[in-house]
Every structure is written in C-alpha cells, then in structure tokens.
Amino acid sequence: MKVMLSNLLFVFSISTGFSQSCIQEYIGEYKVDTEKTIDALVKANPDKTKEDLSKEISEFLQKVSMEIKSDGLKITMMGRTNEITVTPVASKKDGGACDLKLDVPLEQLPDGVDPPFLTIYQNENNRLMIKSSVGTNNDMDNYIWTKIE
C-alpha cells in the first residue's frame, strides 16, 4: 500500500512539474507599440485626435516596458519599476488567453469585492493587450505590447 501511494505521489508530482501554464508562451520582455497604441487610445477617446495624442504621449510610451514572468509582471514606467506577483490561470473571458490573478490578501479587499485580475489578449503578429478587471476607463487597457526578440 505504501509503495502504491508513493508511486501515485511520484507520478502526480512529475506530471504537475511538467504541466504548462497559460502564461508560458508570453514570458519575456515587451515594449509598447506606440503607433498602434495611439490608434487604440484615439478609438477609446473620440474627443482626442491622433495628432494631439501623438504629441502628448509618444515620448512617454517609448519609455514604457514590461516583463512577463511565470509568477508576475515587472512594469517600468516614468522611471519607476513596479513588480506585481500573479497567479496565472486559463482565461474565462471571451477572447482571453490567460488571466493573471493579482496576489492580494483577501483581508485587504473591501467586503463583496472580488480579487482583481488582468487578462492577456493576443492580437495579430503576437501583439498583446492586457486588460484589468477593475475599472472601465484604464488607458493601460489600450496599450498594445510587442515582444522584444
């Protein structure tokens, strides 16, 4: 009985060790595709023109970068780097590739609020969008990311 239990635990640990998470194919460093992001921001903010947004944020977007890791995101913006620890799970969102549950202790959340998460959406030419489950007017939801090869 002990041998059989030991064998089952061994097989289980091997299979979970080799199982691929939904985030595996996205691990790497990314930069913002400035032109496509400005187009997306114009679409989200119809009162702005492409020329206005290009002047305002083009230089800013060129300095934004992100690294996706198996257990987190590292975002550099305005000279500051922030790291976010996440737990990746298969996305339940329509068109979503992977949900990244933010590791926030439940006691820090207000009553009745679900833990926040980010959803990775893959566009054409391996470009990504990462959308937040919190809020409806987050400009970062419109950022289009390109992997740095």
> What is the rounded distance in angstroms from the CA atom of residue 53 to the CA atom of residue 95?
28
pLDDT at 15: 36
Thinking of the domain 22-147, which architecture would CATH place it in? Beta Barrel (2.40)
Give yes or no for residue 11 having a pLDDT over 80. Answer: no
Cα–Cα–Cα angle for 42, 122, 141, rounded to 5 degrees = 40
Find the mean pLDDT for residues 53-68.
91
CB under 8 A, 24+ apart: contacts of 50-56: none
Domain boundaries, the chain: 22-147
pLDDT in tens, 103-124: 887 787 788 788 889 999 998 7
Say what the pTM is.
0.78
Question: With helix as H, strand as E and coil as C, how does 20-74 read?
Answer: CCCCHHHCEEEEECHHHHHHHHHHHCCCCCHHHHHHHHHHHHHCCEEEEECCEEE
